[in-house]
Amino acid sequence: MAAYPLLVDTYREICGDVAAFSAACQRPLPTTAWHAAGLESAYDRGSAGASVPDTLQGLKPVPWRAGAYRFPIGNASHDFMVQYLLGMWHIQEEAAMLAVHLLAPAPGDHVLDMCAAPGNKTAELALAAGPEGFVVAADRSGERLGVVQTTMNRLGLTNVATLVADGGAFPAADNTFDLVLVDAPCSAEGTCRRHPDILHDSQRLGRAGHSMLRGSQVRLLTEAARLVRPGGRIAYATCTFSPEENEGVVSDVLGARGDVRVVEPRPVPELVLREGIPSWQGERFHADVRHARRLWPHDNDTGGFFVCILEKTGRAAAHLQHTVVKPVSQALAADDIPWSVLDVPADVLMRWRMCHNRLVSAGLAPHIQPGLGMFSGTGTGGSTDPGRSIAPEPSTAVRLSYGVRLFNPKTRDHRLTTEAARTVGPFAQNGTVDIAPEAVTDYLVRRPVQPEALSPAAPHIPVVIVRCRGAALGLGRVRGGRVESLFPRIWGGVDVQRSLNRNDITPV
């Protein structure tokens, strides 16, 4: 507890009500989650099990963020857990939703999430960009990007490419993206309600440690300014109270570059948002940092957060026209196995492309180039060649993936992956089995279930797509008039059976 008085004492001059700040930092943080309604509209999904309106009973809407809700302290309901596993909900701290809300991505945008793991904001960006846009989710850690991919699989998002890369020396040409999110690694003091031990880490850092972080954050924001197109926007965000890492970083970049400016963010009247501070411990910041926004725990019963929206100056351009050379993707043809068995309409298949055993949205696929399934690019940063696209050549050894895996190479029956089956399954007119909502939990924990309806081919093929009320749940086998579940034991990074037994997210 000694860390809390030190935190309060450090920021007493800028936090406002000191007693309220101290009390808020020591209270448990409410759980918040958003309903992936945009996912359903973008990919025409149905629902399964209990309806979303049923799940919403007793939840408190987040007034400023459409589709987001606060949950009572304690375990979630069983219906919520089922819907979470089926990609209808995503859990995210309320304060962290502010960055994407203020960046305001739109359908068709080409977006870079520079420090993407664990992928919460990546998912928000991908839903907003839609099937005709895309998001490149980058992180220095391949292991952490694996967490991002599991989230994209669970949500069925095929317009995301994950790239292992250093955001401070990003392997892409100048002016590549419409939007860039820099959710910078920071001292994370604003997460103290969820992770109290973080304050001890911050205490060990000292002000010198905050200054060291500032240097790496300036590097990230400077690179973001290079990568965004003229007229495009950057969101610089942290979850710390530290002015060195917030206003100080923005001020440094404004002083070093003449091609970016801070812009007034969209209003959020339902939130108490404070302006960026003009100075800290004798350092005077750039005057325009007042347009940044601070979220304090005691103002809205949230975590702490900082967001600043910047715009690249110069002649504004429409969405960038990237040069595409010998694309490696191909349309999904009706006679491809197992598409012919599933009888998915040809016009629906055109929403996706098949690239190196990946199912990729039509908006992302044209930018994938030859060479180990990577985008073309220099790998060194700083290129001004307009023909370059958004990732390195194979020689740079930077790993990139995209969309969701299409087929499971470990099987002999040319089986779709669960994520691919759930993406195309709602449109299949054959090769499917429908089960009742009451059987969904049994299916998820791999118990045999009774089918409600069988398509003509279902009894005669090795693997079928299991659905409920039009939503594809995953894969199964029809044997002896029953459906044997092939749903993964580990899905979305959680142990399915334990999570449903406990009504709680049980990570692995």
Q: Using one digit for the tens of pLDDT, what is the confidence trace for 27-41?
A: 999 899 999 864 443
Name the residue with higher pLDDT: 339 or 478: 478
Residue 379 has pLDDT above 50, yes or no: no
Helices (H) and strands (E) in the chain, counts: 16, 27
Give the pLDDT score at 386.
33
Closest by CA to 391, choosing from 130, 137, 179, is: 137
Give the pLDDT score at 62.
95
Name the pLDDT band for 250 (thresholds 50, 70, 90). Answer: very high
Give the pLDDT score at 314.
81
Residue 381 has pLDDT above 60, yes or no: no
Q: Which of 2-6, 256-260, 466-470, 471-475 has the lowest mean pLDDT?
A: 2-6
Closest by CA to 332, choosing from 390, 416, 391, is: 416
> What gap in Å lies between CA 44 and CA 91, rounded to an integer?
22
Name the pLDDT band for 196 (thresholds 50, 70, 90). Answer: confident
Name the pLDDT band for 69 (thresholds 50, 70, 90). Answer: very high
Name the residue with higher pLDDT: 278 or 197: 278
Other CB atoms within 10 A of residue 215 CB: 12
Give residue 160's identity as a one-letter amino acid code.
Answer: V
Give the pLDDT score at 37.
62
Residue 324 has pLDDT above 60, yes or no: no
Q: Are 483 and 448 in contact (CB under 8 A)?
A: yes
pTM of structure: 0.90
Q: Strand 177-183 to strand 228-238: parallel, antiparallel, or no bridges (unpaired)?
A: parallel
Give the pLDDT score at 317.
54
Q: Which of 51-65, 135-149, 308-322, 464-478 has the lowest mean pLDDT?
A: 308-322
Give the pLDDT score at 318.
52
Question: If you average pLDDT over every residue of the chain, what do you get?
Answer: 85
Mean pLDDT across the stretch 168-182?
94
Give the pLDDT score at 91.
93
Distances (CA, A) of 436 to 88, 267, 345, 443, 472: 18, 44, 25, 10, 12
> What gap in Å lies between CA 486 and CA 508, rounded to an integer?
19
Residue 485 has pLDDT above 90, yes or no: yes
Closest by CA to 222, choosing from 381, 396, 104, 391, is: 381
Residue 125 has pLDDT above 60, yes or no: yes
In the chain, % of residues over pLDDT 90: 63
Please state the separation of Cα 498 from the chain's center in Å.
Answer: 24
Q: Tell me the per-residue pLDDT of 351-372, one tens digit each, with 9 for 90 and over.
A: 898 887 889 998 998 887 644 3
Give the pLDDT score at 395.
34
Name the pLDDT band for 207 (thresholds 50, 70, 90). Answer: confident
Give the pLDDT score at 424.
92
Mean pLDDT across the stretch 116-125?
97
Q: Are 30 and 73 in contact (CB under 8 A)?
A: yes
Closest by CA to 298, choosing from 54, 14, 488, 72, is: 14
Residue 180 has pLDDT above 90, yes or no: yes
> What gap in Å lies between CA 413 and CA 204, rounded to an integer?
55
Give the pLDDT score at 71.
86
Mean pLDDT across the stretch 461-480?
93
Most confident of 66-75, 165-174, 483-492: 483-492
> What gap in Å lies between CA 427 and CA 206, rounded to an integer?
56
Name the pLDDT band for 47 (thresholds 50, 70, 90). Answer: very low
- Map out the domains of the chain with their CATH numbers: 3-312 (3.40.50.150), 330-405 (no CATH), 430-502 (3.10.450.720)
Q: Strand 274-275 to strand 228-238: parallel, antiparallel, or no bridges (unpaired)?
A: unpaired
Other CB atoms within 10 A of residue 350 CB: 11
Name the residue with higher pLDDT: 381 or 343: 343
Give the pLDDT score at 45.
41
> What gap in Å lies between CA 214 and CA 245, rounded to an integer?
5
Give the pLDDT score at 390.
42
Give the pLDDT score at 337.
61
> What gap in Å lies between CA 125 and CA 74, rounded to an integer?
29
Q: Which of 33-37, 97-101, 188-192, 422-426 has the lowest mean pLDDT?
A: 33-37
> What gap in Å lies between CA 197 and CA 189, rounded to an integer?
10
Give the pLDDT score at 275.
98
